Amino acid sequence: MKAIAMSEDDDLILSDLNDEELVEQMFDDLYDGLKEEIEEGVNILLERGWAPYRILTEALVGGMTIVGKDFRDGILFVPEVLLAANAMKGGMAILKPLLAETGAPRVGKMVIGTVKGDIHDIGKNLVSMMMEGAGFEVVDLGINNAVEAYLEALEAEKPDILGMSALLTTTMPYMKTVIDTMVEQGIRDDYVVLVGGAPLNEEFGRAIGADAYCRDAAVAVETAKTFVTRRHNQMNA
Amino acid sequence: MGSNMTNALSKLLETRDWLLADGATGTNLFNMGLSSGDAPELWNVDEPEKIKALYSGAIDAGSDLFLTNTFGGNASRLKLHDAQSRVRELNRAGAELGRELADKAGRPVIVAGSVGPTGEIMAPMGSLTHELAVEMFHEQAEGLKEGGVDLLWVETISASEEYKAAAEAAKLAGMPWAGTMSFDTAGRTMMGITSADLAKLVGKLDHQPLAFGANCGVGASDLLRTVLGFAATGTETPIIAKGNAGIPKYHDGHIHYDGTPELMGDYAVLARDCGATIIGGCCGTTPEHLAAMKEALETRPRGDRPSLDEIAEKLGGFSSQSDGTDDSGPERRKSRRRG
């Protein structure tokens, strides 16, 4: 972790900034993982009459998009992204009840989990947080999911997307077990299936019948958005 | 180093200027019928003949050192299979099988007790405390020690906190150790550790590893760039290179890594030229690959330290432009608070 050296701007007063400057500063503060500052920023924007959904998309999602891009490009790493996601969660906690009241639009819904035999959930958790940051509703099944657990969740939650994660050479083939079962039951095409995890690659994703392999959480968000838009267009066509 | 000189690895390193380590565990166990999602460590007790076949594969191919089938043998990982109460037993069993075969090899073969990551994020970012991590690693270390390993082999670590916890556990168990990290994210570990960072961390540890380095990650080229990064720090601790045999592909229901034995032979010789002393494979590396690596190391002369271009030419390109040890990578966003 790089220590954040406070400069002479330490006494920066958020409420003195105009809307545009404040949102820009919130991008910085998300990037630096400053939770209290993000909460303060959200509250100021609410006081100024911003709709909760506008704060979510323009300030929080906007800021997390920058974080996601720099994560994808190898500028930020897991610790920085966890800090940023934690700061975003602080802002989300304020917005969530308000969003429910105002009936804000939802981008899409995802069920996600690490496969059977695999304990690793660092990457999966990042995807969850980044997806929430991008406005998706996420149902996280946690680690060690057997095919039955995935199928039950799909039935109960009716998501747009199923996300599966594996970090081990010994667990990644299990993703195929899940997809094969979905095919057998005739439900494979009802969902967008995204897979990820350190040992995977694009060709592997294709070979096991997933819609896409996502290299990291930022790519997962971009891919999810693309597929959900396509799905909605198809449904409306 | 003091008492470290009495251990088998240090003794062997006094007489040799490179050692061949082993290859994959998971890949080879799959080929013997392990199902995806099952815990390989249970086979130390349930399928001892298959585990012996795994170890024999490396010994017969000429490995000077092999890892025990205990990568996931900590309480945090075994909990998934409801085997968290069997940490000591499964590690001891995996080590005993290895000890038995190594002693029958007719030449010095080192048994290295594999210790993989807990899979959890350590405090302050995550919930796993230093004390708890040390306790888990220590429990595993005692099992491996009882089973007769020559040293502990900590691998695929991504966080410096976890590396330190493993070092402390080795000290508590009174065991020599070696430790590698997995550099799989733009040339760094997923936690952002560069090759130079790890070399520096190793230098500061109270209980020094006998060797340190890189394993797994993405492809042979990236791994060698990391080895060059270690060597550039001027470290005198022997460097370990254990790269994957290419990348995983899915064929007819099982995973196959696309790196050929010839490619791994080239990789082994280049790893030595880059400054590595202990050279082996990781995922996808079969006894056939190991035999090719052994032959290449024995028959081909040492060369000059290769440039990144030479590595890319022989083994393929890199996954990222920079590995964080030069200033050529992209920069962090400027911020008003940070100045």
Return the pLDDT at B263: 95
C-alpha of A23 from chain center: 20
pTM of the model: 0.88
Return the pLDDT at A9: 53
Return the pLDDT at A65: 85
Distance from CA of B27 to the nearest CA of A (A): 7
Give the H/E segment covering residue B292: helix B287-299
| Contact predicate B88/B76, CB 8 Å | no
Do A74 and B324 make contact, defined as CB atoms within 8 angstroms? Answer: yes
Return the pLDDT at B3: 46
Task: Report whether pLDDT(A3) > 50.
Answer: no
* pLDDT band at A102; cut points 50, 70, 90: confident
Compare B226 and B27 and report the one with higher pLDDT. Answer: B226
| Contact predicate B339/A93, CB 8 Å | no
* pLDDT band at B2; cut points 50, 70, 90: very low
pLDDT in tens, B24-83: 998 889 889 888 788 999 999 999 999 999 999 999 999 999 999 999 999 999 998 999
Contacts of B97 (CB under 8 A, 6+ apart): B44, B48, B51, B52, B55, B68
Return the pLDDT at B5: 55
Q: Which residues of A touch B255 (CB under 8 A)?
A: 169, 172-173
Do A75 and B250 make contact, defined as CB atoms within 8 angstroms? Answer: no
Most A CBs within 10 Å: which of B188, B250, B325, as the mutation test of the A interface?
A: B250
Q: Give backbone dihedrals phi and psi of B202, rounded to 5 degrees, phi first.
A: -60, -45
Compare A190 and B121 and report the one with higher pLDDT. Answer: A190
Do A143 and B30 make contact, defined as CB atoms within 8 angstroms? Answer: no
Q: Which residues of A touch B29 (CB under 8 A)?
A: 170
Residue in chain A lying closest to B334 (CA)? A28
Do A173 and B255 make contact, defined as CB atoms within 8 angstroms? Answer: yes
Give the H/E segment covering residue A195: strand A192-196
CB proximity B77 to A under 8 Å:
yes
Compare A215 and B202 and report the one with higher pLDDT. Answer: B202
| Contact predicate A197/A165, CB 8 Å | yes
CA distance B151 to B303: 30
* pLDDT band at B8; cut points 50, 70, 90: very high
CB proximity B30 to A under 8 Å:
yes
Q: Give backbone dihedrals phi and psi of A93, rounded to 5 degrees, phi first.
A: -60, -35
pLDDT in tens, B168-186: 999 999 999 999 999 998 9
Q: Which residues of B touch A122 (CB under 8 A)?
A: 121, 190
CA distance A120 to A118: 6
Return the pLDDT at B115: 98
Which superfamily does CATH assign the domain made up of A109-236 to? Cobalamin-binding domain (3.40.50.280)
Same fold, A12-102 and A109-236: no
pLDDT in tens, A47-79: 999 999 889 889 998 898 888 888 888 899 989
Domain boundaries, chain B: 10-315
Angle between helices B219-232 and B308-315 (to 10 degrees): 160
Do A198 and B77 make contact, defined as CB atoms within 8 angstroms? Answer: no
Please report the sign of the dihedral spanned by the C-alpha atoms of residue B225, residue B226, residue B232, residue B236. negative
Q: Which fold has domain A12-102?
A: 1.10.1240
CA distance B236 to B248: 34
Q: Smallest Cα–Cα separation from B192: which of A78, A86, A199?
A: A78
Mean pLDDT is lowest, of A108-112, A128-132, A204-208, B270-274, for A128-132
Q: Which fold has domain B10-315?
A: TIM Barrel (3.20.20)
Q: Smallest Cα–Cα separation from B77: which of A127, A140, A143?
A: A143
Q: Which residues pair with A113 in a beta bridge?
A: A164
On the 0-12 / 13-18 / 19+ scale of CB atoms within 10 A, A64 is: buried
Q: Compare CB distances from A171 to B37, B247, B338 and report the shortest one's residue.
A: B37
Domain boundaries, chain A: 12-102, 109-236
Q: Which residues of B touch A1 (CB under 8 A)?
A: 192
pLDDT in tens, A152-165: 999 999 999 999 99
The interface predicted TM-score of the complex, written ipTM, equals 0.84
